[in-house]
Amino acid sequence: LHNRIIQLEKQLDQKQALELEIEQLRGSLNVIRHMGDEDDKEVLQKIEASLKDLREKEGELEDLEALNQTLIVSERKSNDELQDARKELINGLKEISRRANIGVKRMGELDGKPFLEAMKRRYNEELAEERASEMCSLWEEYLKDPDWHPFKRIKLEGGEEYQEVIDDEDEKLRDLKAEMGNEAYKSVTLAIKEINEYNPSGRYVISELWNYREGRKASLKEGVEFLLELWETVKRRRGMT
């Protein structure tokens, strides 16, 4: 992928250089035409030579544009294939234990445990589960709401760039922390941050290939290597060669 990008950049540079040469040739041709009588043999030879160069350069430009288009189409196809492979890998790893280094993480999924723990401090076991379920359902609806955007933009130090961070003054979040405690607050803010990063337009939970050891999105290569290691382990356990 990196090599293709470099190749495209080189082709773009060549195209721009050719376009400049063509413009210069056209300018030279106009100058020659105004140098004297076009019946003059020397002038005609210069015009003919310039026209020949111009046609050659225009031909090179057409070939280069065709090559660029081919590379772009190929790049899109490769990207689509990589995305398809990633989706298949995610589907294949969904049932793998989260104790593994590589697995599937549901981005934007609300952790209900803090809600249950908060309710247990108020109610008996059965009622606590019921109330916690109700609260989780309520907050899951909030998370899906495109009109709820509890973020603020802050300017980064030493530059003109801005970053979105959780707005602690958001009314819903303030009430949540006051009513359910800090752990429930952290559960909701983590979920909304993941949604904002991975699916801001859809506002629903999506599955992502995840490196649990390093707490980040896993590469396709990492996922494939993990799957191969898993297969080798299974083969050894079954006595397969």
Q: What percent of the chain has pLDDT over 90?
A: 40
pLDDT score of 12: 63
At 151-205, the pLDDT tens digits run 999 988 877 788 899 999 999 999 999 999 999 999 999 999 999 999 998 899 9
Rounded to two decimals, the pTM is 0.64
What DSSP assignment string belongs to 4-64?
A: HHHHHHHHHHHHHHHHHHHHHHHHHHHHHHTTS-TTSHHHHHHHHHHHHHHHHHHHHHHHH
Residue 139 to residue 155: CA distance in whole angstroms: 29
At 70-93, the pLDDT tens digits run 767 767 777 777 788 888 888 888
At 160-172, the pLDDT tens digits run 788 899 999 999 9
How far, CA to CA in Å, does 99 sit from each of 33, 45, 73, 206, 210? 79, 79, 40, 20, 12
